[in-house]
Amino acid sequence: KAGVTQTPRYLIKTRGQQVTLSCSPISGHRSVSWYQQTPGQGLQFLFEYFSETQRNKGNFPGRFSGRQFSNSRSEMNVSTLELGDSALYLCASSLAGYFTDTQYFGPGTRLTVL
Amino acid sequence: AQSVAQPEDQVNVAEGNPLTVKCTYSVSGNPYLFWYVQYPNRGLQFLLKYITGDNLVKGSYGFEAEFNKSQTSFHLKKPSALVSDSALYFCAVRDTGGGNKLTFGTGTQLKVEL
């Protein structure tokens, strides 16, 4: 089975621009979560989507948004980029998001904001 | 709110020696605990999880973890370390408030030397 895939792997943007990142979950997985990883803040939860609905959201400003499609693929969007948005963005998928489910992570998208 | 602490930023061990990476947790309700490993420029790889049952959990690549409810700990162990085990290790706890959010520790850099 193919793992979680994320595109693009690397991205360079300038302040004020917007960016869209894509995540394809493992086949059959319906829950997709997004995390931001930075040296200063570590791994922080952004949001989770299940059956095209946002089920959970972390403490990030409204510039960070996401969506999920009927095939469970997910995108996240960051508008009006700031320097502090430079990070590794990780997507994780799980079967249904039950407490016992394991989240499997993709390789991440490295975003650099100049 | 859930939290996880990894008290050691770095652990050094000689190849062939046993290794332990420490993790303590704080949750309201039943703990659902996970260990992940991250190699440079890669996403997180799932190692093992504790949901319920035996306090000794066996995982991938010869790793195991010991759940101790009285000490609220979930230490990662391996009987004989390999140089290839050198990586960043994260302990995580599932949010009990519903959804699929993981709260991660700050990570422990494991260095296995010849």
A100 and B90 in contact by Cβ < 8 A?
no
Instruction: Give the residue-averaged pLDDT of B72-84.
Output: 97
A99 and B94 in contact by Cβ < 8 A?
yes
Residues of A in contact with B46 (CB under 8 A): 102-105
Q: Which pLDDT tens digit goes with each residue over B7-56? A: 999 999 999 999 999 999 999 888 999 999 999 888 999 999 999 889 99
pLDDT of residue A2: 84
Q: What strand order describes the sheet that includes A74-78?
A: A5-7, A19-24, A74-78, A64-68
Instruction: Give the residue-averaged pLDDT of A103-108.
Output: 96
Decide if pLDDT at B99 tops 80: no
SS3 content of chain B, % helix, strand, coil (to 5): 5, 50, 45
DSSP assignments along A24-61, one per residue: EPPTT--EEEEEEEETTTEEEEEEEEETTEEEEE-S--
pLDDT of residue B87: 97
Between B43 and A75, the more confident residue is A75
Of chain B, the end-to-end C-alpha distance in Å amounts to 41
Residue in chain A lying closest to B42 (CA): A107
Length of chain A: 114
Instruction: Give the residue-averaged pLDDT of B71-79.
Output: 97
Q: Report how far residue A69's alpha carbon sits from residue A53's, in angstroms, rounded to the nearest whole number.
A: 9
B51 and A92 in contact by Cβ < 8 A?
no
A101 and B45 in contact by Cβ < 8 A?
no
Decide if pLDDT at B75 tops 70: yes
Decide if pLDDT at A114 tops 80: yes
pLDDT mean across residues, chain A? 95
Residue in chain B lying closest to A55 (CA): B99
Using a CB–CB cutoff of 8 Å, tell me whether B104 touches chain A.
Answer: yes
Q: How far from A96 is each of A16, B52, B86, B90, CA to CA, in Å?
A: 36, 19, 32, 23
HSE-up of residue B108 (Cα within 13 Å, Cβ side): 28
In chain B, what percentage of residues exceed pLDDT 90?
Answer: 84
Residue in chain A lying closest to B88 (CA): A42
Interface probe for A, chosen from B28, B101, B106, B109 (most Cβ of A below 10 Å), is: B101
Tokens of residue A7, six digits: 């595109």
CB count, 10 Å around CB of A106?
25
Nearest residue to B24 via CA among B54, B4, B40: B4
Using a CB–CB cutoff of 8 Å, tell me whether B86 touches chain A.
Answer: no
